Amino acid sequence: MRKLCRLLLVAAFAGTAYAGPSSAATIVWTVDQSESYLSLAVPDQSVTIGTTTATIQVRNPSGSNSGPWNIGNTAAMGGTLTTDYVEGSSIEFLSGDMFGLVSGNYRPNPAAFNPASTNTANPNGQFTNTTTAPGVFGARVRANSLADAAFFNFTSVDYDIVSTALGISAGSFAANSLTLGIASADVAFDGLSIIFIGQPIADSLSTITGVTGTNTAASGTITAPNPGGDPLLRRLEIPVSLPLVLNLQGTMLNASASGTLVAYAYVVPEPGTLLLLGGGLLALAASRRGPRAH
């Protein structure tokens, strides 16, 4: 028994002596598509497009003109995000390789855009039909509550997330220190002609980038959701509340994004933890050998 106690003490000392300060490990988290989503909101606002000033209203692709925009404004998220992570101490978000999942079929269909079909209202080409296509976000744009001015379809939406090193206290960190949002998205606008006004929004097929901002939701969490079955599994949850500015063919629209980002990863134990575990196993093995013969 004395020898066993000595072995355990030596193993414990070795673990603490060689553990040293905690160091960050690069952890890739997998976004849970069933728990993660983002919703866009665009309030009614007065804008000037070319020579036309109008109150722009974003509404559902079909149905009531009174709002709100609640069909085509929410999409699940998938992909991965990469962090430098120190268990129970800090997390730094390095990058996100995240994407929006298709939420429905919306007008216009990018495949119907013909850049060679031009006119005065559409100098860069136009859509040749009114078919729909899978999209992440889709809506109808109205002008001055009078008539539909355009349809839009956001496809191939990619998200990013970055931060400095954030301290973790009792499993929480400052989510309002994150920069996140749309890294890039393909956007199709199908403009419509309005009586007495003409076509204020031209047909277009373009890519927007850098639609990001500082998260305003206060705190994110990192928890061990299943310590009994998977003691190294961690669950990351980030509430999203984000002011954004969308570029409508050179006209800036105030918008916002809200939702939840949930991701999972397995953490790597610190070297000291591994040494303690190894020392304990060695001591256990030694205790089972029994006394030596003299």
User: Which residues, including other chains, have CB under 8 Å from residue 272's CB and lie 6 or more apart?
Assistant: 15, 16, 18, 19, 20
* Start-to-end Cα distance in the chain: 18
Nearest to 240 by CA among 71, 61, 35, 92: 35
* pLDDT for 8: 36
Q: What is the mean pLDDT of residues 101-108?
A: 98
Identify the DSSP state of 30: E
In this structure, which amino acid lies at residue 115? P
Q: State the Rg of the chain over Cα.
A: 27
- For 13, the enclosing helix (H) or strand (E) is helix 2-19
List the single range of 9-13, 56-60, 272-276 with lowest mean pLDDT. Answer: 9-13
User: Which residues, including other chains, have CB under 8 Å from residue 45's CB and lie 6 or more apart?
Assistant: 55, 56, 253, 254
178 φ/ψ angles, rounded to the nearest 5 degrees? -90, 145
Q: How far is CA 176 from the centre of its chain?
A: 14
With bands split at pLDDT 50, 70 and 90, how would you rate the model's confidence at 286? Answer: very low
Q: Per-domain residue ranges for the chain? A: 1-22+270-294, 23-269
- Condensed to tens digits (0 to 9), the pLDDT of residues 5-46 reads 333 333 333 333 333 345 789 999 999 999 999 999 999 999
- Condensed to tens digits (0 to 9), the pLDDT of residues 212-258 reads 999 999 999 999 998 788 999 999 999 999 999 988 777 889 999 99
* Alpha-carbon gap, residue 14 to 11, rounded angstroms: 5
- Condensed to tens digits (0 to 9), the pLDDT of residues 176-205 reads 999 999 999 999 999 999 887 889 899 999
Q: Residue holding tokens 């990619």?
A: 158
User: Which residues, including other chains, have CB under 8 Å from residue 1's CB and lie 6 or more apart?
Assistant: none
For the whole model, what pTM was predicted?
0.83
Provide the mean pLDDT of the chain: 86
* Alpha-carbon gap, residue 81 to 77, rounded angstroms: 12
Identify the DSSP state of 48: E
Is the separation of the CB atoms in 98 and 56 below 8 Å? no
